[in-house]
Amino acid sequence: QAQDAKPGVSIYATGGTIAGASKSSTDTTTYKAGSIGVQALIDAVPELSSVATITGEQIANVPSNDITTSLLLKLSQTINRQLAQPGTNGVVVTHGTDTLEETAFFLDLTTSGSGKPVVIVGAMRPATAISADGPFNLLQAVSLAASNSAKNRGAMVVMNDRIGSAFYNTKTNTTAMDTFRSVEQGYLGMFIGTQPSFYYSPALPTGKLAFDVSGITSLPKVSIVYMHEDQDNEQLDAAIRAGAKGVVIVGNGNGSTPTIVKNRIEELTKQGYPVVRASRTGSGFSTKKIEGIGSGTLNAQKSRILLMLALSQGADIQLLRSYFNG
Ligand SMILES: NC(=O)C[C@H](N)C(=O)O
């Protein structure tokens, strides 16, 4: 690479509101997500070319609710191949925000090997809206992926001037711009204009794991079942009958469930069937108990990602308990 060559950053577009379009410039709820192609996203921000040498690839163009496990595997494998190129400084994934945290967490667990930045970015206002947030978010995301200060920090989420850890970040508001937060752990840093500014030296989340998904084309099915007063075992048993190789419970409080469900989970645990107990509270630990596997700090949707990856490698209950840190 020549002395004055710009860092190489590859953008992988998957759709979402950042690529959304509507006939109305004030429509922020009924627009069509995943309408605009990757080249149009790049062309809309000419400033990108002064930050990095950009390449773009369309992986999908869908609302993030339609992101599948096979797309996750394809995205992760493509990114790892790109990160292995000496001219690549980092990568950016544009993504719908609804399930962004799941893709970000998956990439955090499967693409952190090189230490090069992997940045996931979205928008809350479609590209056609007044004050669309996508273009500036994309410029900040590329600036982060181009920055050497972003190395060895795991995958990161860029939204609303903030840099979040993909391990901890979660969507907390249905429509507001400042929706991505980590209630307990906070942000890694923020942007001063387009300049990333980190609060801490690189550090990894406690218990963070790495999975090699090269050559894998599918993952075991894991279902999620929500708890509430008077919940019974109907949905849990239906999920198992439908072929789930593991179930994540969205528990009341500390991964807790009505006694009838607790007894069933205890039985399943004895049989070696994995049930992870997450929490519907939004923050805190789901701790170890006799029944199932406490999810630690992971919410249900992230627990599902980790459980799929761990089961794909044949993890048993004991190993799963150590993976989940709960
Ligand atoms: N803000 C967004 O991107 C939401 C959109 N429904 C999506 O996740 O694709």
ipTM of the complex: 0.97
pLDDT tops 70 at residue 184: yes
Q: pLDDT value at position 2?
A: 56
CB atoms within 10 A of CB 165: 23
Strand boundaries in 79-230, DSSP class E: 88-94, 118-121, 156-159, 162-165, 170-171, 180-181, 189-192, 195-198, 222-226
Distance between CA atoms of 170 and 321, rounded to whole angstroms? Answer: 23
Q: What's the gap in Å between 321 CA and the centre of ligand 1?
A: 33
pLDDT, tens digit (0-9, with 9 covering 90-100), for 230-274: 999 999 999 999 999 999 999 999 999 999 999 999 999 999 999
Q: Tell me what pLDDT residue 4 has.
A: 66
With a 6 Å cutoff on the Cβ, whether 64 touches ligand 1 is yes
Structure confidence at residue 161 (pLDDT): 98
Rounded percentage of the chain residues whose pLDDT exceeds 70: 98
Q: Does residue 90's CB lie within 6 angstroms of at least one atom of ligand 1?
A: no
Minimum CA distance residue for ligand 1 atom 7: 96
Q: What are phi and psi of 262, to 5 degrees?
A: -55, -45
What is the average pLDDT across 55-82? 98
Is the predicted pLDDT of residue 1 greater than 80, yes or no?
A: no
Question: 278: part of which helix (H) or strand (E)?
Answer: strand 275-279
Q: Taking the model in full, what pTM does it have?
A: 0.97
What's the pLDDT score for residue 326? 64
* Mutation choice for ligand 1 from 41, 59, 64, 170, CB with most ligand atoms inside 8 A: 64
Contact (CB, 8 A) for 106 and 72: yes
- Sequence-ordered list of residues with C-beta below 8 angstroms from that of 43, at least 6 positions apart, any chain: none
pLDDT tier at 325, thresholds 50, 70, 90: confident
pLDDT digits 0-9 by tens, 103-144: 999 999 999 999 999 999 999 999 999 999 999 999 999 999
